[in-house]
Amino acid sequence: MAIEQQLETGIGSKEDAGSKIARHAALLSGQLQQLRMRMYPPKSEKMLRPFLTNEVSKLTSIPDSTLKLMSSEGRGPIPSRLENNHRVYTLKQINELRELFAKQKPAEALRFLPRRREGEHLQVLAIANFKGGSAKTTTCVHLAHYLALQGYRVLALDLDPQASLSALFGAQPEVDVGANETIYAALRYDEAERRPLRDIIRKTYFDGVDLIPGNLEVMEYEHETPRVLANKTASGAIFFERLKLALSEVEDDYDIVILDTPPSLGFLTLSAIYAATSMIITVHPAMLDVASMSQFLLMMGDLINVLNESGAQLDQDFIRYLVTRHNPNDAPQSQVVAMMRHLFGTDVLLPTAIESTAVEAAGLAKRSIYELEMGQLGRDTHKRAREAVDAVNEAIVSLITKSWGRE
């Protein structure tokens, strides 16, 4: 009996590599689903915490006293009350406040509601590097959340088959994302199966952020494109134009699109570079990571030249380097950062993404630092992390608004 059980479980028997990997994948996927079920039961959905009046005041520039007066008089969205009787607003209510004040004070509308205006182009921001561990996804989710908290309309697009960005938004790639529900559905060459981009966009629990999720299906584009190019059977746009054209279908719905690119320079990354109006290259300040980035830049330069020879015009508003997982007290890291600033000058963002236990703790809970309440971590730890993340995102938003011609 014991021998039969061993054979059934693969213990004591010779198992080929493919079977073993498939079995391990199934075991791990099942375990992750169990963990997810414990964190988010079937009938519950991931929800964003409410915001206290003082937080709402900082986010909207509406005075705290005005918010309290409006609440007392029953004007505008009515906040809920906590057990301690403090008023709290949802992000949806905060955005309602923004729209209300923008209408009441048209001369100051941009201060309350900073969404892009007529004549300002859709900003498509690619977060890129082909080395894993450079904090691309962490950068994407924190930027998306920050933008939404400021009142922008954001589309987060997961181009990475590992789909970590999707998971952070509560969509487990193996369970919640089905066939033809990723960006591949809008890019594929089979016209009968291709779907409009709007059909695959999902609302998220974070008001103001929509998501196009990813999973292993996005790799089909990497496999299908070379066959189509070899056979010259493509219908419609050439491979690198397809993402840009797909995004143009929803151009009026968003202010900023954030592309979480794969850690490779394949057809999807090339499509992202062509579609992007700007790019942030994340880099961990260690010599091996910088050496890897050097190879990434060389290869990207060659690929851009190939695109230019194909008649593609790359007109990007800005390209910046963001130092991530940075420990300012680490001497070797400081030397690497100094070298980058010497070589690239102001193309390296002045704020850096500080290595923080608060950000790591938030990531383990599949959250951003913006989703954690102050009491969930040490006050000083949370404050330092929040200030560092805010500084990075403020610098990026400044570049975006400058590209729109705003002062």
pLDDT band at 35 (very low <50, low <70, confident <90, very high): low
Q: Is the pLDDT of residue 3 over 50?
A: no
pLDDT band at 48 (very low <50, low <70, confident <90, very high): very high
Q: What is the CATH number of domain 123-404?
A: 3.40.50.300
Query: What are 233-288's pLDDT values in tens digits?
Result: 656 678 889 999 999 999 999 999 999 999 888 889 889 999 999 999 999 998 88
Q: Is the pLDDT of residue 70 over 80?
A: yes
Q: Does 132 or 350 have the greater pLDDT score? A: 350
**pLDDT > 90: percent of the chain:** 62
- Tell the burial category of 375 from Cβ atoms under 10 Å away from its Cβ (0-12, 13-18, 19+): exposed
* 152: number of Cβ within 10 Å: 21
Q: Is the pLDDT of residue 2 over 50?
A: no
For 78, the 3-state DSSP assignment is coil
Q: Where exactly are the structural domains of the chain? A: 51-111, 123-404
Strand arrangement of the beta sheet that strand 202-203 belongs to: 202-203, 209-212, 154-158, 256-260, 123-128, 278-283, 318-323
Q: What is the pLDDT of residue 42?
A: 46
Q: What is the pLDDT of residue 199?
A: 96
Q: Is the pLDDT of residue 104 over 60?
A: yes
Query: What are 105-138's pLDDT values in tens digits?
Result: 999 999 999 999 999 999 999 999 877 778 999 9
What average pLDDT does the segment 340-344 reach? 93
**pLDDT > 70: percent of the chain:** 90
Q: What is the pLDDT of residue 316?
A: 87
CA distance 128 to 125: 10
Q: Is the pLDDT of residue 47 over 50?
A: yes
Least confident of 47-56, 149-158, 303-312, 392-401: 303-312
Please say whether the dihedral angle defined by the alpha carbons of residues 74, 75, 79 and 85, taken in this order, is positive or negative. negative
Return phi, psi of residue 237, to 5°.
-70, 155
What average pLDDT does the segment 52-79 reach? 93
CA distance 320 to 344: 9
Q: Please give the model's pTM, rounded to 2 decimal places.
A: 0.88
Please say whether the dihedral angle defined by the alpha carbons of residues 299, 302, 304 and 310, taken in this order, is positive or negative. negative
Query: What are 139-197's pLDDT values in tens digits?
Result: 999 999 999 999 999 999 999 999 999 999 988 888 889 999 999 999 999 888 999 99
Place of tokens 């690619």: 126
Average pLDDT, the chain: 88
Q: What is the pLDDT of residue 95?
A: 96
Q: Is the pLDDT of residue 40 over 80?
A: no
